Structure 1
Amino acid sequence: MTPRLITLLAAAATLSGCTIIPRTVEPPAAALYEAGMVSAADPRASEAGAQMLRQGGTATDAAIATMLALTVVEPQSSGIGGGGFYVAANARGEVETIDGRETAPAAAHPQWFYKDGVLLKFPEVVPGATSVGVPGNIALAAKAHAAHGRLTWAALFAPAIKLAREGFAITPRLHAMLKSNAKVAGFSAEGRAMFFGADGQPLPVGTVVKNPALADSLQMFADQGAKAFYTGPNARAIVTKVTTAPVNPAPMTEADIAAYAAKDRAAVCGTYRAYRVCSMGPPSSGATTLLATLIQLERFDMKALGKDNPVSWHLIAESQRLAYADRARFAADADFVTVPVAGMIDRKYLTGRSALISQSGSIAKAVAGTPPGAEKLTFAPSSQLAENGTSHFAVVDRAGNAVSYTSTIESAFGSGIVAGGYYLNNELTDFDMNPQLNGRLVANRVEGGKRPRSSMTPALVFGPDGRLRLVVGAAGGATIPAQVIRAVIGVIDWDLPVQQALALPVLFAPGTETVYVEQGSWLEGMIPALKALGHADVQPRALPLKANAIELRGSQPWGAADPRSEGKAIRE
């Protein structure tokens, strides 16, 4: 049989529920590293992935098990009710990406968020059903497993099923999220019964919660394959919940769910100081924003300036402002609009953009440029800041395969709607809710079958020798590229170990005149210096930060988790 036919047969077997070992996977290679590593935002999820590595699984097997476990223990942030982006590489440095972003129902239209001719505001649609997109994570997992899995499909579900069936303890972070997002977390009867007491208050830290409905759903998907998510009882349950929601019911159909497909996308790669950096292209704005910011900074000696110099952070702010301005104007689902990806990271174009940056002063107003291939009709102005429904995880196996995977349900607890024991996303609010600006259509407007623009930036960084150096990503809405930028500069320019790089404070400059610095960090002490450099509006802000990474040095993987989170890296 041809490799293509083998791949198709493996995928079909996975979707039909057969537990075969995909034959496209090469036999275990000689170990490149002394051990594999998993870094995730919850140690129980990291351990689920590490179990797969100990059983001889690949980085892809471990990443899928981690995503499934996060569905159970981090219900506010991630899981099978949402979608994700998968960026993977093998030991030869070959990179591929899979788009598992949610899609709008076929009935969706540019006025989706209007009621009686009036544009609704975010609190009026979340919690609620008009925010729900067709979930993509299970389809993404099936596609990745068919190509790069070694363990059986069912084996990947075992840790998550055990956590859901036997119970998991509420952590301080989950408790805090339940308290601050009680309206959404307790929107459905299932959510209230699971996480709230008779007094209406969140259950205390340490309370062991069982989720038998989710355990049953996961067992069904494990036994019957990914098809069981997109057809049959599970699809009907999603449709019923969405179409009969007490707030803003929406016309999602079983056909919408059955039609969902995870898509292979071309990886978007560029170079920064001889390092190759790869991330996710449209519908993500991650790769273009990350690469544009870095390439615009290349002409400055960031190493000599150092992390303690206000000029370094001023330059990062200026470069971010330019990159985010382009992101806002051009980034969207490339299946629906022309996104000038090559132009947005073109070195000649970015050299011109970089020339706007000065070490001694600030750009008065950062506006989008005209990258090669840009269309003039597109304009999309929003940059959502307050988002907590996302999780990133990084995996490397002994053979040198790596996965950088960001998973999301958008806001904390998504839409608030629970189906089959899991929260459904509110991803459609990542579209620009107003389809026009100054009489012009925006690129990221709502359309049937379209995928909303994302900030998720799962990234891989390869050293000048071609070997993998860093697997990194983050959660936190529009701050995600800024967090990854900070980590890459920390490792490459400032020679920091990856854990110290993730501990660096974050500066976020989303293309406007306002620059946000992480509240409570030592960047607050630089506010006067940043203002002296021309930034009139610099504000301390409690940013939604959560990053995970693995650095490769020699034969050792070094895992890191954001010290602001409950994350942990676990060796095989």
Structure 2
Amino acid sequence: MKKYLLALLLLFAFPNALFAKGGVVTAADPRAAEAGREILRKGGSAADSAIAMMLALSVVEPQSSGIGGGGFMIHNDGRTNDVATIDGRETAPSSASPRLFLDASGKPMPFIDAVAGGRSVGVPGNIALAARASARWGKLRWSALFQPAIRLAENGYQVTPRLAEALSRLKPLWSDFPAAQAIYWQDGRPKQVGDTVKNPALAALLRKVAAKGPKAFYAGENAAAIIAAAGKSKRNPTVITRRDIAAYRAIDRAAICTTYRQYRLCGMGPPSSGATTVFQILRMLERFDLKALGKDNPQSWHLIAEAMRLGYADREKYLGDPGFVAVPVAGLLDKTYIASRSALISPDRSLGNYDAGIPPGAEPRTAALSSEVAGTTHFVAVDGNGDIASMTSTVEGPFGSQLIANGYVLNNELTDFTFAPEKDGAPVANRVEPGKRPLSSMSPTIVYGPDGKPVFAVGAAGGKTIIMQVAKTLIAHLDWGLSAQDAIAAPNIYFAGDAVLVEPGTALAAMQSQLAGFGHAVVTGRMSSKANAAERTATGWQGAADPRSEGVALGE
């Protein structure tokens, strides 16, 4: 009876969380989480479960992610606690050039003019990533992982408030995108909450890839569909070739790892800026006793804001695709360099100016802002053997390029490149180049305890705010001792121009005047927030989902 009452209490206290003795999954959509749980219950691994969730999200959360986009996965081997990552980031086609997003006068195009249509489409990476993860860590047959997504596409699913909101917002744009309308509109209007979406074209493609493997995606009829969608687009038509698509490869990359207090943290390296920037922020803060200061102290948030601005300054200058630019990862995380950056942080006064530093090994380069729209999705799977798969997946902005190929949304990932290829006469690290992968803020992370075993896995969605959602969640969990659920729910902080941006209606917003007392300009503003996490507790793994989202955690 006591156990029953405790379970009931936990359910009411943490409606988005799940305590489980076996495996656990968490995703931003309940139907995707159910797909992941189904695979675990059939004996699948964490990687199998994550792949099934990625495929299901392609169907039910098309505004955020899918097989027409790309992602990053970080994986823990439950036997050895070895960590590995796979880069499934999209690539620019061979027709792309550094001038891709410049207008006739040589100036960067307005973002809104560049995002819709073929110009923004990169070669998708998620199917190649899934195939690589399945080969390395999978237990079930490849075809089994597709079955939940196929059922959802064939039988239909109901539109949720988040999807309805995205559809309504894009209504003025979709007069130029009849293929998207054909799936997501009815009776001459965007589908609304409770309407049913069926996607037979996507179901047919998923069946083909399930039966024939990734070549069915990267060659043949599907390659032709991508080429046609991008090349015949009413807006920004562009050339993608069969060779561009067939040449795509997901890349095994070494995880970027560092220490923070008594923990070891591992994440995704370039072309993700996630691990380097999150870890810089944390390590700049390490000399401050955040635990003693606590979550309700404005000084804690002042310190976080200062480290944030310094970390992002380095991000904009040095991060890019390591296949094209030398990224000084070791220098950015160098102990002496971090100490010099941390020394710029005053406990009681804002710095005011936040220029990039000069880390060891850095080449002469100029800083330039890149665009990254708030979109994306994250999901975590932990299986009964201790394997963990933490994956962030994206089509970039809401419904990506707005283009459809075989029922799925094609990404607008190329707008994550910096539009201006040069600044002050120096090349920009994140400039467009053929075959290059654009810089990303996706930050899938796994944390290891003093015993060397994983204790936490986290990631988020929301463009450049991803880095701060993950950093904040890690601070809230590791320093302030909050549960995974409460750590995700803690207030978000970011920046808007020269001002610190705080989440309205939160305890942090109530500190606005105190933060201003440190010299910050402070504004409140809505931020996209969609994080998912899992933590190891004394009674098993606990999943958590952002209460601001439609996400859930489910136990095996």
Task: Provide TM-score, normalisation by structure 1.
Answer: 0.92
Q: Distance in 1 between matches of 2:252 and 2:172?
A: 37
Once the two structures are overlaid, the 10-residue window that deviates more, 373-382 or 104-113, is 373-382
* Match runs of 1:151-162 below 5 Å: 151-162=140-151
Q: Distance in 2 between matches of 1:473 and 1:185?
A: 31
Shift of the alpha carbon at 1:190? Answer: 2.2
State which of 45, 52, 61 in structure 1 corresponds to 2:39: 52
Q: Distance in 1 between matches of 2:28 and 2:352?
A: 38
Q: Name 2:55's counterpart in structure 1.
A: 68
Q: Name 2:528's counterpart in structure 1.
A: 544
3-state SS, counterpart of residue 293 of structure 1: helix
Q: Name 1:370's counterpart in structure 2.
A: 358
3-state SS, counterpart of residue 190 of structure 2: coil
Q: Check the 8 A contact 2:156/2:199 in 1, yes or no.
A: yes
Deviations, residues 128-151 of structure 1 (Å, cap 9, x unaligned): 110000000000000110011000
* Match runs of 1:197-346 below 5 Å: 197-199=186-188, 201-346=189-334
Q: Name 1:514's counterpart in structure 2.
A: 499
Q: Name 1:556's counterpart in structure 2.
A: 540
* Match runs of 1:71-82 below 5 Å: 71-82=58-69
Q: Check the 8 A contact 1:125/1:247 in 2, yes or no.
A: no
3-state SS, counterpart of residue 115 of structure 1: coil
Shift of the alpha carbon at 1:519? Answer: 2.3
Shift of the alpha carbon at 1:153? Answer: 0.2
Shift of the alpha carbon at 1:107? Answer: 1.6
* Match runs of 1:387-466 below 5 Å: 387-388=374-375, 390-466=376-452
Q: Name 1:122's counterpart in structure 2.
A: 111
Q: Name 2:339's counterpart in structure 1.
A: 351
Shift of the alpha carbon at 1:285? Answer: 0.2
Q: Name 2:83's counterpart in structure 1.
A: 95
Q: Distance in 2 between matches of 1:185 and 1:496?
A: 43
Shift of the alpha carbon at 1:187? Answer: 4.4
Q: Name 1:16's counterpart in structure 2.
A: none
Q: Check the 8 A contact 2:50/2:391 in 1, yes or no.
A: yes
Paired amino acid for 1:571: G
RMSD over aligned Cα, in angstroms? Answer: 1.2
Q: Name 2:6's counterpart in structure 1.
A: none
Q: Check the 8 A contact 1:476/1:544 in 2, yes or no.
A: yes
Q: Distance in 1 between matches of 2:192 and 2:364?
A: 53
Q: Distance in 1 between matches of 2:173 and 2:454?
A: 40
3-state SS, counterpart of residue 543 of structure 2: strand
State the number of aligned residues: 535
Q: Check the 8 A contact 1:187/1:417 in 2, yes or no.
A: no
Q: Check the 8 A contact 2:296/2:507 in 1, yes or no.
A: no
- Specify whether residues 186 and 141 from structure 1 end up closer, same or farther in structure 2 by C-alpha distance, changes over 3 A only: farther
Paired amino acid for 2:535: E
* Match runs of 1:456-495 below 5 Å: 456-495=442-481
Deviations, residues 496-541 of structure 1 (Å, cap 9, x unaligned): 111001100101147x532111123222111111111011x21111
Q: Name 1:145's counterpart in structure 2.
A: 134
Q: Distance in 2 between matches of 1:186 and 1:569?
A: 37
Shift of the alpha carbon at 1:126? Answer: 2.2
Shift of the alpha carbon at 1:258? Answer: 0.3
- Specify whether residues 335 and 155 from structure 1 end up closer, same or farther in structure 2 by C-alpha distance, changes over 3 A only: same
Deviations, residues 431-487 of structure 1 (Å, cap 9, x unaligned): 001112122211000000000000000000111121111110000000001000111
Q: Name 2:95's counterpart in structure 1.
A: 107
Q: Check the 8 A contact 1:270/1:278 in 2, yes or no.
A: yes
Q: Check the 8 A contact 1:186/1:196 in 2, yes or no.
A: no
Shift of the alpha carbon at 1:49? Answer: 0.6
Paired amino acid for 1:176: E
3-state SS, counterpart of residue 71 of structure 2: strand
Paired amino acid for 2:157: F
Unaligned 5+ residue runs, structure 2?
1-19
Q: Check the 8 A contact 2:317/2:365 in 1, yes or no.
A: no
Deviations, residues 25-79 of structure 1 (Å, cap 9, x unaligned): xxxxxxxx83101100001000101111000000000000000000000000001
Paired amino acid for 1:261: R
Q: Distance in 2 between matches of 1:43 and 1:364?
A: 43
Once the two structures are overlaid, the 10-residue window that deviates more, 432-441 or 155-164, is 432-441
3-state SS, counterpart of residue 65 of structure 1: helix
Task: Provide TM-score, normalisation by structure 2.
Answer: 0.94
Q: Check the 8 A contact 1:187/1:416 in 2, yes or no.
A: no
Moved over 3 A (4+): 183-187
Q: Distance in 1 between matches of 2:485 and 2:276?
A: 25
3-state SS, counterpart of residue 281 of structure 1: coil
Q: Distance in 2 between matches of 1:184 and 1:227?
A: 33
Shift of the alpha carbon at 1:244? Answer: 1.1
3-state SS, counterpart of residue 88 of structure 1: strand
Paired amino acid for 2:547: P
Paired amino acid for 2:291: K
